[in-house]
Structure 1
């Protein structure tokens, strides 16, 4: 099973390649070359699916997928791609966690939180636009992602909601999420809240959970002090680990989730890792 839209895209590209016979011509001209497919975001998903289609004819092809979407392949198909697809993800990249299932969970969380919140909705809306234009203030970041008050309450509660149970989406995050909603969504959200909180399965658009393709290398930044950054000390700027597709099933609302997805940021991250590795190797030698 695979994402329908990206499957259409992969089949379209394959048909064009077949009609032009450009790969056969290129490999005949350069027989010592291998075949590598690559792409970023949507392109990464299409490249992985295209590789599955083309492998019978090109069994040695490889795929380098950058920021591949989570909602791409069924778990069985994703395991098959681990032998020829290499996926790279950076930090809190939202597309790496983007799937129908995860988005539906976020949608339900937004509706439930809005329904339970004691804050006036106009304040949430204005704060959301303020965050979008000027960034999230440090104070709000602390209260949203590092709320010490939550330690004294039971799991799933929030001071903003009068210590009532809420989903994993933080209440103060609603200001950010509100700008992502449409007018029709807003007008119907409160009517749907009670139903969705009791019968979550009713509103599911997909009964098959889809996963990220390939073997996944996840890169995260390391925290350094200002003095370490200025002096170029404190070890490497990034840490790398092998991740599994299950690690990207939950959609997380984080400050850098858009920035970490941008291709120029992915390129800059990889360039920094290679430069630091080269410098470290030179120092050792």
Structure 2
């Protein structure tokens, strides 16, 4: 940081990102000198080949070029390792070495082309096995040159010519939005879909608003995450959450479950019971993944393949499944429901249309609506449309929720009313209550859907597993969150907070970037993460460094924040995004936070867990940990709830009222 400036523009790489590049290429070229030296030694002037003199001239030229490249690449690697992430002045001469390295590509290309001509067109009189070795070496050099050109293309930043002072006009902002919109289309591989045009425009504006004017490259963000993790550990935030001692405004926001209380028993039982429905909504891919060995044996008896042996599939209440009804089979295998208890299942995956199924749970006397979480690109687009949208709720003014999830919940409500006939189902099953469940994106849709249906079915319940941030807080919803799950904390406000923290940590870090990234890699590869970080990143690495040449005396974190908002945002999408970040959005309902108390100490042992009633303010920051993504998978929260039930077997009996 800042991005490398060469040829009058910024590039998608930092001047401190070339340590491995320079030293790695130098090592490869040293190996090349040794390799060609052996060839030169073995082929003296008496070698039986008419073109031996041409080979010697070619090898001497290779030695000269490789020697120059090694010197340059070592210099690039050494210079790139100087300074800190923010202080780039010790690296200010790097671009001139890069210019010289690019200049050397001309003789390198010329000499490689001459070697290609000699080995492939003018060496027929030389022994074949020797020529094959030389040809392989030349082809390897062509591959290196091709990789070099591809990297240069990938590192080209279309926004690199924007003003360096961060003072952007409306034209520059719209250009940034178009660039990010094009990137989203390429990633999603569906640019021809006209119906998605508005979605890509929204995403382009959102990403441009978040990343524009940061002046960072991807490796800066990675290093910043390592530093933020160290800062969070030092601030005792992670330890307070693990111990259940987290406070906000001098108030404890995490209260442990009391398993002697009937309410806590019922909550844990319900969460554990309905978690199976939330997991079943993911269909056969997740079932096969979770039951790798026994999945086919379990699913095959529920398949409804089109054959003369099986009945027609027309009587199945399933829409959008494959020819063998694999998703339907996974629902039955996961929930152990009878065929007649699955009232409806829909697996059509489009914009704002989430797959879901409706089933009868006769044990709890409930009609269960289970909504699938993120499992496709359409779902990912829905996740990313994170701008707050106003939602109409009786008795509540200025209510907002996640835009993409709101639209998905409205579509499911229409399908339940018009295609499924939810009202008729509830009338036919008197005494049954409505329960809506979901995981991840499905949990968010379930929470909003329960709000939309509350006036029609006032006795309904909702169980949201790992719901995303940016939803409404309603008492009819019970949310379950596992450990350091990233998604429940992933609101637009928390992303902006993390952005500020990353910039501040980068600004005050005293170590070069390659050391910070090596520390992060070591922590991912070892279980002793805290020890590893403590050895490589001292406490004062995320404090003020008044010795840096770019620092100006007594700096504070507040002085860094203007770097994040220097862009002059006018009207349009960017102004809207900046305005809505001031809207506070919370996790839905009562929140049950399940934490690991003691990890498993051996292969045969099981971990122990503890549960807390948590306030939504306990999730007002993104936690940077190695497990923040893995903790989001549905099997994590489901297994933890089952283990909790096993820890208190004497507290549960069939007399509990569901």
Q: Are residues 1:96 and 2:488 paired?
A: yes
Q: Are residues 1:53 and 2:428 paired?
A: no
C-alpha distance in structure 1 between counterparts of 2:525 and 2:565, whole Å:
33
Which residues in structure 2 correspond to 1:88-167 (within 5 Å)? 88-125=480-517, 130=521, 135-144=524-533, 158-161=539-542, 163-164=543-544
Which residues in structure 2 correspond to 1:222-261 (within 5 Å)? 222-223=597-598, 226=601, 237-261=608-632
Q: CA deviation at 1:223?
A: 2.4
SS in 1 for 2:497: helix
Contact kept? 1:70, 1:249, Cα under 8 Å: no
Q: CA deviation at 1:194?
A: 9.2
Segment drifting more, 12-21 vs 57-66: 12-21
C-alpha distance in structure 2 between counterparts of 1:118 and 1:196, whole Å:
16
Higher relative contact order (CA 8 A, sep 6+): 1
After superposition, the C-alpha distances for 1:27-68 in whole angstroms (9 at most, x for unaligned) are 233223211000011111111111111111111111011111
Contact kept? 2:610, 2:644, Cα under 8 Å: no
SS in 1 for 2:437: strand
After superposition, the C-alpha distances for 1:233-261 in whole angstroms (9 at most, x for unaligned) are xxx81111111111111111122222221
Q: What is the CA RMSD across the aligned residues, in angstroms? A: 3.3
C-alpha distance in structure 2 between counterparts of 1:71 and 1:264, whole Å:
23
Q: CA deviation at 1:112?
A: 2.4
Which residues in structure 2 correspond to 1:1-285 (within 5 Å)? 1-73=400-472, 78=473, 81-82=474-475, 84-125=476-517, 130=521, 135-144=524-533, 158-161=539-542, 163-164=543-544, 197-198=561-562, 204=578, 206-223=581-598, 226=601, 237-278=608-649
Structure 1 residues 20 and 222, CA, compared in 2 at 3 Å: closer, same or farther? same
Q: CA deviation at 1:21?
A: 4.4
C-alpha distance in structure 1 between counterparts of 2:609 and 2:601, whole Å:
16
C-alpha distance in structure 2 between counterparts of 1:50 and 1:225, whole Å:
38
Mind listing any 5+ residue stretches in structure 1 that lack a counterpart?
151-157, 166-192
Compute the TM-score of the two structures, normalised by the length of structure 2. Answer: 0.32
C-alpha distance in structure 1 between counterparts of 2:527 and 2:599, whole Å:
18
Compute the TM-score of the two structures, normalised by the length of structure 1. Answer: 0.70
Contact kept? 1:136, 1:255, Cα under 8 Å: no
C-alpha distance in structure 2 between counterparts of 1:87 and 1:112, whole Å:
33
Contact kept? 1:71, 1:211, Cα under 8 Å: yes
After superposition, the C-alpha distances for 1:112-161 in whole angstroms (9 at most, x for unaligned) are 22233233334545665x46xx82434543254x78x97xxxxxxx3335
Matched residue pairs, number? 232
Structure 1 residues 264 and 226, CA, compared in 2 at 3 Å: closer, same or farther? closer
C-alpha distance in structure 1 between counterparts of 2:405 and 2:601, whole Å:
43
Q: CA deviation at 1:109?
A: 1.4
Q: CA deviation at 1:209?
A: 1.4
Mind listing any 5+ residue stretches in structure 2 that lack a counterpart?
1-399, 546-556, 568-577, 654-658
- Aligned residue for 1:176? none
Q: CA deviation at 1:211?
A: 0.5
